[in-house]
Amino acid sequence: MTEQHILHVNDIELSVHFSGPEDGKPVWLLHGFPECWYSWRHQIDALAAAGYRVCAPEMRGYGRTSAPQPVEAYDVITLCGDIQAAMDHLGHTRVAMIGHDWGALVAWHMALLEPERVQVVSGMSVPFGGRPKRPAIDMMREHFQDRFHYILYFQQPGRAEAELESDIPRTMRLVMHGLSESGSGNTLFGNKPADARWLDDRVDPGVPPQWCSQDAFNVYVETFERSGFRGPLNWYRNFGRNWERTADLAGRMIEQPALFLIGDGDPVGEMEAYTIKKMPSLIPRVEQHVFEDCGHWIQGEKPEQVNRYLLEFLKRTFT
């Protein structure tokens, strides 16, 4: 069981779900796109049972958390600011920071920004590549001038929102299946025109993937029916601003003990193969593990494995 609280921090209302003993060591679980706090349901129970104080926020733009309209309200420093302010509010001085997908990006940056308070860090599915020499969005535009790429599609406010919000259960089924190990084809980019829509060429299977129960699926759908997709998509519209606002982090390494988990069938792994290979040069104490027969939704597809690795890692490093 979790308790949900609204924290008034960083000029927003941040919805956070808590579980475990109040005097337990704090473990933050940061979700990605298009997901919600409930994507950590299996980890929340396991971590709480092990005596940790679990904090699972609905990230900025999602669910019951505020969703500011301006695009620039979603750069990575601001997103980290939400968690930093929540840690201040809760009196957290030593935490474990764990993230998946976009939540992993926030977790990696939290480790850089808070080297004293973030004792250990774990990222799932999205590796840490450091600050690029120029904004990643510029490189994407060069490489995908005439081909579809989901991130480029997300750049124009309103267009992707209209598609994804037209039938939210269908959107969630297609994205979940499309990035699962059992899915058919990669939904991130493909052999279609640059001006195509994201999911038009996908066939709706009509049911969630096997790893996501109907009850869990309903929580995901409710999240986006409440908040829509504008806030979550705005995360993707800040690559240039992220690059500008992280200038002082250029060349910085993550010194804390770190754990990186990814599925062997995760399309992000193919897209970020070079980054994964160079990650030990940026995180000297990183442990990396690849899960077999697993797609992008690692904590849902392989919950027992994720829990085993997380608990063992925390037992060794989060003292």
Give me 3's structure tokens: 């308790």
Q: Which residue in 100, 109, 177, 296 is the catalytic one?
A: 296
Q: Cα-Cα-Cα-Cα dihedral of 43, 48, 50, 55, to 10°?
A: 80
Strands 189-193 and 147-149: antiparallel
Q: Which residue has the tokens 């089924």?
A: 173
Are 53 and 23 a contacting pair, CB within 8 Å? yes
Answer yes or no: CATH 3.40.350.10 is held by domain 3-317.
no
Q: What is the pLDDT of residues 227-272, one digit of tens each?
A: 999 999 999 999 999 999 999 999 999 999 999 999 999 999 988 9
Query: Which residue in the block uniquely carries the two structure tokens 């308790």?
Result: 3
Where does 157-232 show beta strands of DSSP type E? 189-193
Q: Is 101 a catalytic residue?
A: yes
What is the distance, to the nearest Å, from the Cα of residue 32 to the centroid of all Cα atoms in its chain?
3
What amino acid occupies position 279?
A: M
Measure Cα distances from 96 to 10, 25, 149, 317 in Å. Answer: 21, 8, 33, 9
Close Cβ partners of 153 (under 8 Å, ≥ 6 residues apart):
159, 160, 196, 197, 198
Among residues 31, 101, 109, 266, which one is catalytic? 101
Position 301 confidence tier, pLDDT thresholds 50, 70, 90: very high
What residues does each domain of the chain span?
Answer: 3-317
Tell me if residue 42 is catalytic.
no
Residue 23 pLDDT grade (very low, low, confident, very high; cuts 50, 70, 90): very high
Q: Is 185's pLDDT higher than 60?
A: no
**Helix and strand totals (H; E) in the chain:** 14, 10
Strand bridging mode 3-9 / 12-19: antiparallel
Is the model's pLDDT at 184 over the cut of 90? no
Mention every residue, 6+ apart, whose C-beta is less than 8 A from residue 156: none
At residue 93, what are phi and psi to the nearest 5 degrees? -110, -20
Helices (H), 114-238: 136-143, 150-153, 159-165, 168-178, 214-227, 230-236
Q: Rounded CA gap, 99 and 92, in Å?
A: 18
Q: Is the pLDDT of residue 32 over 60?
A: yes
pLDDT at 189: 63
- What mean pLDDT is reported for the chain? 95
